[in-house]
Amino acid sequence: MEARSKTVEQWFSMIEQGQIVLPRFQRHEAWRHAQIIGLFENVFRKPSLPVGVLLVLEIGNDEPFHSRPIVGAPEPKGRPSMHLLDGQQRMTALWRTLSDDYEDLQLFVSLGPSDEEEDASAGVTPPELPRIDREKRWFRKDVRQPVWCDDPGQTFERDLIPIRCLRPGAVGERNLESWLAKVKEAGKDPSPRLGRIYELRQRLSSYVIPFLSLGVETSRETALDVFIKMNTSASPLKDFDIVVAQLEEASGESLHTLVEELIDEVPAASEYGKIEDIILSVAALLDGKPPLKKTYLEKDFGEALGRNWPRIKSGFRRGLSFLRNEAIINEKSLPSDVVVYLICALWADIPEHGFDAEGNARSILRKVLWRSCFTDRYGKTSATRSYADFRTLREILNGEAGDTQCELFDETYYPLPEPGELLLAGWPSRKDRLPRAILAASLRAGGYDFADGAPAHPDNLAKREYHHIYPVDVLGGDRSDDRVNRALNCALISWKTNRRIAARTPREYVEKRAEAASLGEPEVRQRLASHLIPFDELVAGDYDAFLQKRAEIVADHLRQLCDGRMPS
């Protein structure tokens, strides 16, 4: 390994020529705006501060890994000379910022007096700290906002210069010349600031970034091992990033590409939380191990994931279809994260078109799903408990064990909630298991909209709102009152229906709906029943009696679901 250094101008020249690229297993961008600003503050400061050391792999006649350019950089026209193993967040931030490649961010450098360092010691010459201004960008009616950012006259009036004008090389020179010309066209004289501008350009272009270089003789395995061990930047590697590298080493396959293909085939895969975490959990269970960090960091885990990928894909496809049929439609309606990876892992090995066997599996998995939602089995140590249950459940599905052997089904330790417990469950918009389970069970009954009659469906759930069945104003007008914000006082309906109901009493809006519905009161009763809402208790106007009756209905409904049955 050799230690060397290059200036920002030299690094940019290599990027422009396609001489330095990223190995395909490198993760995607992870830096936040504050980290990008901090990088440039260190670069422009005088004396400057370091931004860390890069790690590169020298390339011989053949690239050891598939590669891709830094985001926004030109595609290489020939064979690159380096793969950037560590430091891609820094280099990507430098390149994209100085190329003005962020749609939602633009940086400016102040041409005025430097900020003073707050903790500068007395008697010591304070460093010069040019101010870096961040502007968030957005579009309004196809015009990028704020408009002044694209007006050189206005930016100069604010004593600012777009950071792209300070970019090293010919591109930066053209940016600066164009900007200065437009400043003059706006009737401003940039001459007094030219010295400052050229000094800032020089600081940036001559800023030195050191790097460690692995020679061309370095093996793929060694390079990947060093990549994993040395990647200790401000955004350290996540478990998924390490598995990406493991799979690349074992088979040459790109896990990023596999995930993209999975989402193309099963779009719902991206709607239940972080797909990377779900994939790792499913892969661990299918490999016979608990879904824990310790498992993911085992050296052969990536290879096992690649080997099991067809099973993982099948599990996602069939498992998520099952969840949607059971009204667990997306992350918003998800009572427990465990159910997603546990159900997908269990579906992975169930024979397709198994007729009676598949029907039996559905009943068992319905029982698994709803008991996972309505009991606290996975409240603590969920990874080890889900692993233990997965092993037993797979035996049950294969006919090698009985239901009583699965701890999830043991009501002595994991009882189903009684109506009294359901009464106290809070508002389901919060990430709380029981309230969300109650809402999911009500959607499972159909969830027809009160007004338009449309059933709850993946296509319309995003447009639905949490509705207080007894409006807040009817119950005293205090939105912070826990008594108002009960899961049993909630239904998920369209935003239009929610607005029309407003603060009407239940009797008033039910009568209104009955008048509007061509089939009258029976149709409204049916729509309310599809949310497990008791019609008579609702219109009677007794809130406590309504909650009690609905709790009894939900309790009966969840008992049937948790027994694997289709509620009657």
Taking only the tens place, the pLDDT of each residue in 99-123 is 999 999 999 999 987 765 555 555 5
The pLDDT confidence band at residue 235, using thresholds 50, 70 and 90, is low
pLDDT of residue 2: 75
pLDDT of residue 476: 84
Q: 296-328 pLDDT, tens per residue?
A: 888 889 899 999 999 999 999 999 999 999 999
pLDDT of residue 504: 82
DSSP sequence for 261-308 = HHHHH-GGGGSSS-HHHHHHHHHHHHTTS-SSHHHHTSTTHHHHHHHT
Share of the chain above pLDDT 90, in %: 68
pLDDT of residue 116: 59
Share of the chain above pLDDT 70, in %: 96
Sign of CA dihedral 274, 275, 276, 282: positive
DSSP 415: P
Amino acid identity at 462 = A
Q: Is the pLDDT of residue 441 over 90?
A: yes
Task: Kindly report which listed range (27-36, 118-127, 423-432, 505-514) carries the lowest average pLDDT score.
Answer: 118-127
pLDDT of residue 239: 83
Beta-carbon contacts of 336 under 8 Å, excluding residues fewer than 6 positions away, are: 372, 373, 378, 433
The pLDDT confidence band at residue 207, using thresholds 50, 70 and 90, is very high
In this structure, what are the phi and psi dihedrals at residue 247, rounded to the nearest 5 degrees? Answer: -65, -40
Q: 347-399 pLDDT, tens per residue?
A: 999 988 767 888 899 999 999 999 999 999 998 889 999 999 999 999 999 98
Between residues 459 and 419, the one the model is more confident about: 419
DSSP 130: P
pLDDT of residue 516: 67
Tokens of 140: 């309004």
Mean pLDDT of the chain: 90
